[in-house]
Amino acid sequence: MIKVGIVGGAGYTAGEALRILLNHPQVEIVFVNSTSNAGNKLYDVHEGLFGETEMVFTEELPLDKIDALFICSGHGDSRKFMESHDVPASVKIIDLSTDYRDESDGFVYGLPELNMERIKKANKIANPGCFATAIQLGLLPLAANGLLKSDVHVNAITGSTGAGVKPGATSHFSWRNGNISVYKAFQHQHLKEIGQSMRQLQPGFSHDINFIPVRGNFSRGIFVSTYTECDLELEEAKKIYEDFYKDAAFTFVMDKNPDLKQVVNTNKGIVHLEKHGNKLFIISMVDNLLKGASGQAVHNMNIMFGLDEKCGLNLKSVAF
């Protein structure tokens, strides 16, 4: 059994990680750390866990008792944690914040469709961002074949859980319900890691990725619409995508125009292609809390420990 600890245990990503790990056949959860909730039952915060566990949050950090550590702290806090704690070298670390996605301090960028072999050998993983995951799934096959030859235009809408558990002016129900809005147009923080991955596969890539993020009036999921100039016929493009993802455990190329509910509550990524004139139109979508966060983190853990990639992650979509 893999003995696991979780830091930053009160947020959405920690709650989803717990939901998966409590039912993972190869995992034992040793501790869930949260200073503000120490002594409370996990289900006092993550109410969906009622009936699943009687575990409580703790202030303690018995890092010498675990094999893997999930850091679910806020952006900026993961680096502070790593700098202020002596994590044993034997402990594999999976960080869900933005702090190490530049692959600093020995972290490997944990997008399995991009870095599978490196993840297998890694001790420290920087889990990708949710928007970044969804957008990259739509672009990786093109970059791998040197086919990103012009600007890329992206419109992506996300559910309210992408804003985190703390309520804010743009995440509470009265504002979000029946409403949409654009934010961080052309300057979203995930653009940095997307560009990094594109250049990894297609050195010299220097075109703009024009990204318009949209707040959606639903709880979870990311739906991405991308287009870029492409000389390939549709069937040629599909062949490139199908070949690229042929061994992927969770990413699939779909002929039918998909809808978001096909990925919600799963660790799947779905990609759909269309050709319109000289433009390749790409739909890609994930559940922002699973394939875009905690599900991908557990997938990375499975790879790091040599388990079946799908172990603990056979989740059914919320189709209706």
Active site residues: 130
Give the other-Cβ count within 10 Å of 36's Cβ. 10
Residue 217: exposure state from Cβ atoms within 10 A (0-12, 13-18, ≥19):
middle
Rounded distance between C-alpha atoms, residue 186 and residue 188, angstroms: 6
Rounded distance between C-alpha atoms, residue 223 and residue 145, angstroms: 24
Rounded distance between C-alpha atoms, residue 251 and residue 258, angstroms: 13
Give the contacts of 315 (CB within 8 A, at least 6 positions apart): 20, 265, 266, 267, 290, 295
Q: Which secondary structure element, helix H or strand E, spans residue 112, and what is its range?
A: helix 112-121
Rounded distance between C-alpha atoms, residue 111 and residue 99, angstroms: 15
CB 159 within 8 A of CB 218: yes
CB 211 within 8 A of CB 183: no
CA distances from 54 to 24, 32, 51, 130, 312 (A): 17, 12, 8, 30, 20
CB 196 within 8 A of CB 109: yes
CB 15 within 8 A of CB 40: no
